[in-house]
């Protein structure tokens, strides 16, 4: 129904065709009720000439006239004229040669003609006798029969017919208004949904396009980092090598001042090499191209090695190291070098951010990893846990504000610019740690209280007993 | 605008735009209530939820000119709530003039601005130049407390590109002046674009005189 209507008309809130808003069944039902009440025939015709309802009973007079040649012709002519009549604003009362009349009432909606209805034929009650035009319509007419049939025609006084028609017009207009309202509502509903969908689709497309661009940029960044890091490392290796040669006296004895300056050069070059190595790691991790060599790792050995590496720095800063491995802690399943790197980064950070006289506690104990971490409905069915080792690094330093906790694993993120100046670092360590932990299918969590310290918990899969 | 030369019929679409609860539907209700019954058709309120418009309201006004031209004015409102933007954009399609119903309360200044920007955006999306479409602004709710004063509105009117009207739509004050102003500006623009006088033999002045005669005057303060 709606696909035949004009969208522009709908957006103007117009009714295009009567049949678009009035169902034939409901109009017929109203007309039947009208016929039942008043006994008057009714036809409803659209502006385009379609018959929407036709409720009448064949009149004996009409049936009789249709048996006569001239009577049939005259009847057909009258019906044709009445049917084609379209009054502009005022009702037309069209006389029939039988003495009956047809009342043709225009239906107008929002200033436009939309159809009409025809009441009749009926005989105005004011007319007592059949007119001469009926009795002389055909040479073979039996006037007694015609008069008898004339008396059986529906009769109503004209002013009553006018009131009845006005009433029917009101009912049809009400139906029209309700139908139009329903049509507009459903059209708007569909159009709004389409418009919303179109808008969302456009936004999604724009977002997808931005996402693709960002992915490309990210890829470019990773490639750039990897290339630059690689290109930087080669000359830096030479700088370190030649510095070591100078320090070893390969080019002659050094004065104390020269040795001190060379020591500084080598120290800074080492720092730079560390940074470049981190950038390379990050690049590989982001490109998922870092190979991990999984093996069984003894937590005791892991933490002992760690202690040996970190103790000198901790001593320099007057920070105590408290290293504990719970009895019976399972062996880890991971890349020995990379797990060592994870711990070293965390402990190095903890020492760096501890105050003088503070303590850094490193602990290894048994734990579990939830494979899905699911909660809520059906969690019992979806959660699968496996044995793990939890490595905890706790400091009693300055702590991290809650709003910063979610960002500390972002690459190059520093809580504030001053941190870099005071403590050094490029903000890469925790990003690398997070990616390494993810690469081991482990998880890392952090809790912190400002002024009291921070606890990092790294949970890594335990090695199978028989692995 | 739709022109039917055969039927000598012109259909003009006018949209009442504005932020939520600024009184767009109240304007149409008042026009329906104040307008003469032979000109105004039935006010159609299409889908509401808690007395808030979901799609639109529509009021048809028919002015049969002495020159034989029949002008059908279709007045629409839009849903003001932010989430119904798609519907607002649809209703704006093919509009010939806009009455922006602003809330006079100081607290609603941001909502007015936001809605006006949204109007501009939606007009552009429909391919209508916001600079060229006849737009008038009505400051409604003049009976509320903490509103922009008449003096402030005078100053605003002096530098405003759009004509400014004042109204209390719930009481019918100023709504007919707003409507007449909107019809006048829209007709002037349509005359310029389509040479209606040449085509239908009706001058803008004569048309407005006939509109004035068809629509009853309301007694409120209103005016620029």
Under an 8 A CB cutoff, do A192 and B55 touch?
A: yes
Q: Closest by alpha carbon to A225, among A267, A189, A275, A168? A: A275
Tell me how close the Cα of A118 comes to any Cα of chain B, in angstroms: 24
In chain B, how many H helices and how many E strands? 7, 8
pLDDT tens-digit series, residues B47-95: 677 778 888 899 999 888 877 889 999 999 999 988 889 999 999 999 9
Q: Quick one: pLDDT at residue B129?
A: 95
Q: Chain A, 196-255: which have a CB under 8 Å from a chain B CB? A: 196, 199
CB proximity A195 to B under 8 Å: yes
- Which of B13, B85, B90 has the CB atom closest to A191's CB atom? B90
Question: CB-based contacts of A435: which residues, under 8 Å, 6+ apart?
Answer: A282, A285, A286
pLDDT tens-digit series, residues A80-97: 999 999 898 899 999 999
Single pTM value for the model: 0.68
- Mean pLDDT for the stretch of residues A63-80: 93
Q: Quick one: pLDDT at residue B181?
A: 96
CB proximity A175 to B under 8 Å: no
Question: CB-based contacts of A441: which residues, under 8 Å, 6+ apart?
Answer: A369, A461
Question: CB-based contacts of A163: which residues, under 8 Å, 6+ apart?
Answer: none
Looking at A213-227, A360-374, B10-24, B115-129, which range is the least confident one? A360-374
Residue A1: pLDDT band by 50, 70, 90 thresholds?
very low
Residue B224: pLDDT band by 50, 70, 90 thresholds?
very low
Q: How far apart (Å, rounded) are the C-alpha atoms in residues A75 and A97?
A: 8
- Mean pLDDT for the stretch of residues A27-55: 94
Picking from A111, A170, A189, A194 by the largest number of B CB atoms within 10 A of its own CB, the best residue to mutate is A111
From residue A151, alpha-carbon distances to A67, A127, A295 in Å are 19, 11, 114
Under an 8 A CB cutoff, do B47 and A188 touch?
A: yes
Q: Quick one: pLDDT at residue A395?
A: 92
Q: Quick one: pLDDT at residue A5?
A: 46
Q: Closest by alpha carbon to B178, among B222, B116, B134, B215? A: B222
Question: CB-based contacts of A32: which residues, under 8 Å, 6+ apart?
Answer: A55
Neighbours of A212 (CB within 10 A): 10
| Domains of chain A with bracketed CATH | 2-192 (3.30.450), 196-283 (1.10.287), 294-461 (3.30.565.10)
Chains A & B: contacts with CB separation below 8 Å: 63
Calculate ∠ Cα A371-A372-A378, nearest 5°. 125
Picking from B87, B126, B127 by the largest number of A CB atoms within 10 A of its own CB, the best residue to mutate is B87
- DSSP 3-state of A275: helix
Tell me how close the Cα of A81 comes to any Cα of chain B, in angstroms: 23
Q: How far apart (Å, rounded) are the C-alpha atoms in residues B224 and B219?
A: 15
Look at residue A409 and tell me whether its pLDDT is greater than 70: yes
Residues of A in contact with B13 (CB under 8 A): 12
> Which residues, listed in sequence order, are joined to residue A462 by a DSSP beta bridge?
A332
In A360-441, alpha helices (H): 379-382, 402-405, 417-423, 429-439
pLDDT tens-digit series, residues B114-142: 999 999 999 999 999 999 999 999 999 99
Q: Closest-CA residue in chain B for A108?
A: B41
Domain ranges of chain B: 2-214
pLDDT tens-digit series, residues B153-197: 999 999 899 999 999 999 999 999 999 999 999 999 999 999 989
Q: Quick one: pLDDT at residue A156?
A: 94
In chain B, alpha helices (H): 24-34, 85-92, 109-125, 150-159, 175-194, 196-200, 204-214
Tell me how close the Cα of B59 comes to any Cα of chain A, in angstroms: 9
Under an 8 A CB cutoff, do A185 and B55 touch?
A: yes
Q: How far apart (Å, rounded) are the C-alpha atoms in residues A435 and A442?
A: 10
Q: Quick one: pLDDT at residue A427?
A: 65
**Rounded percentage of chain A residues whose pLDDT exceeds 90:** 48
Under an 8 A CB cutoff, do A177 and B9 touch?
A: no
**Rounded percentage of chain A residues whose pLDDT exceeds 70:** 90
Under an 8 A CB cutoff, do A13 and B62 touch?
A: no
User: What integer best gives the mean pLDDT of chain A?
Assistant: 86
Residue A7 and residue A190 in contact, taking contact as beta carbons nearer than 8 Å = no
Q: Closest by alpha carbon to A319, among A286, A352, A273, A356? A: A356
Under an 8 A CB cutoff, do A192 and B94 touch?
A: no
Under an 8 A CB cutoff, do A11 and B42 touch?
A: no
The fold of B2-214 is: Rossmann fold (3.40.50)
pLDDT tens-digit series, residues A95-144: 999 999 999 999 988 888 899 999 989 999 988 899 999 999 898 999 99
- Which of B84, B86, B94 has the CB atom closest to A199's CB atom? B86
Residues of B in contact with A190 (CB under 8 A): none
Order of strands, sheet of A443-449, starting from the edge strand that comes earlier in the sequence: A320-325, A359-370, A385-395, A453-461, A443-449
- DSSP 3-state of A291: coil
Look at residue A289 and tell me whether its pLDDT is greater than 80: no
């Amino acid at each position: 129904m709606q696909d035949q209507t004009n969208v522009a008309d709908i957006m103007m809130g117009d009714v295009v065709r009567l049949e678009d808003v009035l169902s034939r069944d409901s109009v017929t039902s109203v007309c039947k009720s009208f016929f039942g009440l008043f006994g008057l025939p009714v036809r409803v015709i659209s502006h385009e000439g379609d018959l929407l309802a036709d409720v009448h009973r064949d009149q004996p007079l009409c049936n009789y006239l249709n048996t006569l040649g001239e009577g049939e012709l005259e009847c057909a002519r009258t019906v044709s004229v009445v049917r084609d009549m379209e009054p502009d604003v005022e009702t037309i009362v069209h006389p029939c040669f039988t003495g009956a009349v047809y009342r043709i009432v225009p239906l107008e909606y929002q200033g436009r003609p939309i159809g009409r209805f025809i009441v009749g034929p009926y005989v105005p009650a004011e007319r007592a006798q059949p007119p001469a035009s009926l009795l002389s319509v055909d040479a073979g007419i039996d006037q007694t029969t015609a008069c008898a049939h004339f008396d059986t025609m529906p009769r109503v006084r004209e002013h009553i017919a006018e009131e009845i028609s006005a009433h029917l017009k009101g009912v049809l207009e009400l139906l029209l208004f309700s139908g139009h309202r329903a049509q507009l509502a459903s059209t708007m509903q569909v159009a709004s949904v389409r418009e919303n969908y179109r808008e969302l689709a456009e936004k999604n497309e724009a977002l997808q396009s931005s996402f693709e661009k960002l992915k490309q940029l990210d890829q470019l960044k990773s490639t750039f980092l990897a290339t630059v890091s690689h290109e930087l490392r080669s000359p830096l290796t030479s700088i370190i090598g030649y510095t070591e040669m100078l320090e070893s006296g390969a080019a002659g004895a050094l004065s104390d001042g020269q040795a001190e300056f060379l020591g500084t050069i080598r120290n800074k070059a080492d720092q730079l090499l560390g940074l470049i190595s981190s950038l390379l790691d990050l690049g590989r991790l982001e490109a998922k191209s870092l190979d991990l060599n999984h093996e069984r790792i003894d937590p005791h050995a892991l933490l002992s090695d760690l202690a040996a590496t970190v103790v000198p720095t901790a001593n320099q800063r007057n920070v105590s190291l408290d290293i504990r491995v719970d009895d019976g802690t399972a062996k880890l399943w991971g890349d020995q070098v990379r797990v060592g790197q994870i711990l070293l980064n965390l402990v190095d950070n903890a020492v760096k951010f501890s105050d003088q006289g503070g303590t850094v506690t490193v602990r290894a104990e048994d734990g579990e990893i939830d494979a899905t971490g699911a909660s809520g409905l059906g969690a019992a069915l979806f959660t699968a846990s496996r044995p793990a080792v939890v490595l905890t690094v706790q400091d009693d330093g300055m702590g991290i504000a809650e709003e910063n906790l979610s960002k500390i694993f972002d690459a190059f993120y520093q809580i504030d610019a001053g941190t870099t100046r005071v403590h050094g670092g490029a903000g890469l360590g925790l990003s690398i740690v997070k990616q390494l932990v993810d690469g081991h299918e482990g998880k890392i969590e952090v809790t912190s209280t400002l002024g009291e310290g921070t606890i990092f918990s790294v949970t890594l899969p335990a090695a199978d007993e028989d692995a | 605008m739709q022109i039917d030369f055969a039927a000598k019929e012109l259909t003009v679409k006018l949209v009442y735009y504005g932020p939520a609860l600024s009184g767009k539907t109240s304007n149409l209700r008042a026009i329906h209530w104040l307008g003469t019954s032979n000109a105004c058709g039935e006010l159609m309120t299409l889908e509401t939820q808690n007395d808030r418009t979901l799609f639109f309201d529509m009021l048809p006004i028919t002015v049969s000119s002495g020159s034989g031209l029949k002008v059908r004015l279709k007045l629409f409102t839009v849903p003001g709530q932010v989430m119904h933007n798609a519907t607002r954009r649809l209703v704006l399609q093919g509009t010939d003039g806009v009455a922006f119903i602003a809330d006079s309360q100081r607290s609603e200044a941001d909502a007015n601005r936001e809605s006006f920007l949204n109007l501009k955006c939606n007009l552009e999306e429909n391919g209508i130049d916001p600079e060229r479409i006849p737009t008038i602004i009505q400051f409604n709710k003049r009976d509320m407390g903490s509103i922009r004063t008449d003096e402030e509105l005078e100053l605003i009117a002096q530098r405003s590109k759009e004509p400014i009207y004042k109204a209390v739509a719930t009481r019918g004050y100023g709504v007919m002046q707003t409507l007449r102003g909107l019809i006048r500006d829209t007709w002037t623009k349509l005359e310029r674009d389509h040479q209606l006088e040449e085509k239908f033999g009706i001058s803008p002045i004569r048309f407005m005189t006939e509109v004035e005669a068809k629509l009853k005057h309301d007694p409120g303060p209103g005016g620029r």
